[in-house]
């Protein structure tokens, strides 16, 4: 069964993506106000009624929103997070309401867990200064022959390592941080401590570091399987979409592969990317009777 992926927002002021199969969808992070998230679903003609869960990478303020947690409470949609995220999230009245409603599920490093809608998630710890921070490998439901599509999502990380490389081997889509160009970062008018923070091992991944990771991934798995690269969390001040795309395109040209490059944006959602066979997209204008008749689905 195929997967669909879209970036609703990506950048330092809000991050939210959607992974979905025909059985339902999961938000990766929820750093948008509910009204903004719903507007972005409408802009890409997808229904928010498909949301069956949210998984949280870390607790920096651009990755979760108190109002969005309230939206999850209203629809009885569970939040999956790491136990060490609780102490930050407990300042949110809506996180406390999720806990009271038994809608908070804990995940643990390097332990794959089942999500609603038949999706599976492997949380891979990464280095970042936001407390416990994770990349996710998400795998869709298997088909009749036991094969499934998967994607890797790594948005905030200072460096990559072999653990991440192993966790993301043989994904069909890679969503990876291309935060900054090192020269633009060093030439920026930012204070020195901030520049060093971003460039440090617990900051953000540069274009060059992201391309290094891609090169190693292609070394290990060959060029056949990976079909899409989605660039995440570009700095508005210290990167340019054209620059990020160019460094990735140069690598793909050297390797002779035709991986499609997509660049997530802060204010405009990405056109949904389809991996593998999917039925016709369910439009927001279509009635949701089929979904609403399934009592096991939360959030209706
Ligand atoms: Zn962030
Ligand atoms: Zn962060």
DSSP of 109-170: TT--EE-GGG-EEEEEEE--SSSSEEEEEEE----TTS---EEEEE-S-S---HHHHHHTTT
Closest ligand (CA of 14): 1
Question: Residue 133: its pLDDT value, please?
Answer: 98
Distance 155 CA to ligand 1 centre (A): 7
Each domain of the chain, given as residue ranges in start order, spans 3-292
Question: Residue 279: its pLDDT value, please?
Answer: 62
Distance 156 CA to ligand 1 centre (A): 6
Question: Residue 145: its pLDDT value, please?
Answer: 83
Backbone conformation region of residue 283, classed left if phi is above 0, alpha if psi is from -120 to 50, else beta: beta
Task: Report the predicted TM-score, pTM, of the whole model to 2 decimal places.
Answer: 0.91
The rounded distance, in Å, linking the Cα atoms of 39 and 61 is 20
Distance 89 CA to ligand 2 centre (A): 15
Distance 25 CA to ligand 1 centre (A): 22
Instruction: List, in sequence order, every residue forming a beta bridge with 174; answer none if it has no partner.
Output: 152, 229
CATH 3.60.15.10 applies to domain 3-292: yes
The rounded distance, in Å, linking the Cα atoms of 113 and 248 is 32
Closest ligand (CA of 158): 2
Distance 179 CA to ligand 2 centre (A): 11
- Render each residue's pLDDT in the chain as its tens digit; 300 residues: 899 999 999 999 999 999 999 999 999 999 999 999 999 999 999 999 999 999 999 999 999 999 999 999 999 999 999 999 999 999 999 999 999 999 999 999 999 999 999 999 999 999 999 999 999 999 999 888 888 999 999 999 999 999 999 999 999 999 999 999 999 989 999 999 999 999 999 999 999 999 999 999 999 998 889 999 999 999 999 999 999 999 999 999 999 999 999 999 999 999 999 998 776 554 444 433 333 333 333 332
The rounded distance, in Å, linking the Cα atoms of 126 and 156 is 8
The rounded distance, in Å, linking the Cα atoms of 40 and 30 is 12
Residue 62 and residue 12 in contact, taking contact as beta carbons nearer than 8 Å: yes
């Amino acid at each position: 069964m195929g997967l669909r992926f879209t970036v609703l927002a990506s950048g330092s002021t809000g991050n939210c993506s959607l992974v979905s199969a025909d059985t339902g969808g999961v938000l990766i992070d929820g750093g948008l106000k509910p009204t903004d998230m719903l507007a972005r679903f409408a802009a890409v003609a997808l229904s928010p009624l498909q949301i069956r869960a949210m998984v949280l990478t870390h607790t920096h303020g651009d990755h979760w929103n108190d109002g969005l947690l309230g939206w999850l409470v209203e629809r009885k949609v569970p939040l999956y997070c790491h136990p060490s995220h609780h102490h930050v999230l407990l300042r949110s009245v809506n996180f406390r309401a999720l806990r009271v409603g038994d809608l908070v599920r804990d995940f643990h490093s390097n332990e794959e867990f089942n999500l609603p809608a038949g999706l599976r998630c492997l949380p891979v710890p990464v280095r970042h200064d936001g407390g416990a921070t994770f990349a996710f490998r998400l795998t869709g439901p298997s088909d009749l022959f036991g094969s499934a599509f998967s994607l890797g999502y790594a948005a905030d990380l200072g460096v990559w390592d072999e653990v991440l490389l192993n966790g993301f081997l043989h994904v069909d889509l890679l969503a990876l941080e291309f935060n900054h160009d090192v020269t633009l970062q060093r030439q920026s008018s930012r204070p020195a401590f901030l520049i060093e923070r971003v460039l440090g091992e617990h900051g953000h991944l540069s274009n060059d570091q992201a391309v290094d990771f891609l090169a190693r991934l292609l070394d290990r798995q060959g060029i056949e399987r990976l079909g899409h690269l989605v660039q995440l969390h570009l700095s508005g001040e210290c990167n340019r979409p054209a620059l990020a795309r160019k460094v990735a395109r140069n690598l793909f040209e050297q390797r002779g592969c035709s991986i499609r490059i997509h660049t997530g944006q802060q204010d405009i959602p990405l056109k949904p990317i389809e991996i593998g066979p999917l039925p016709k997209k369910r439009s927001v204008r279509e009635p949701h009777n089929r979904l609403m008749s399934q009592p096991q689905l939360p959030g209706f």
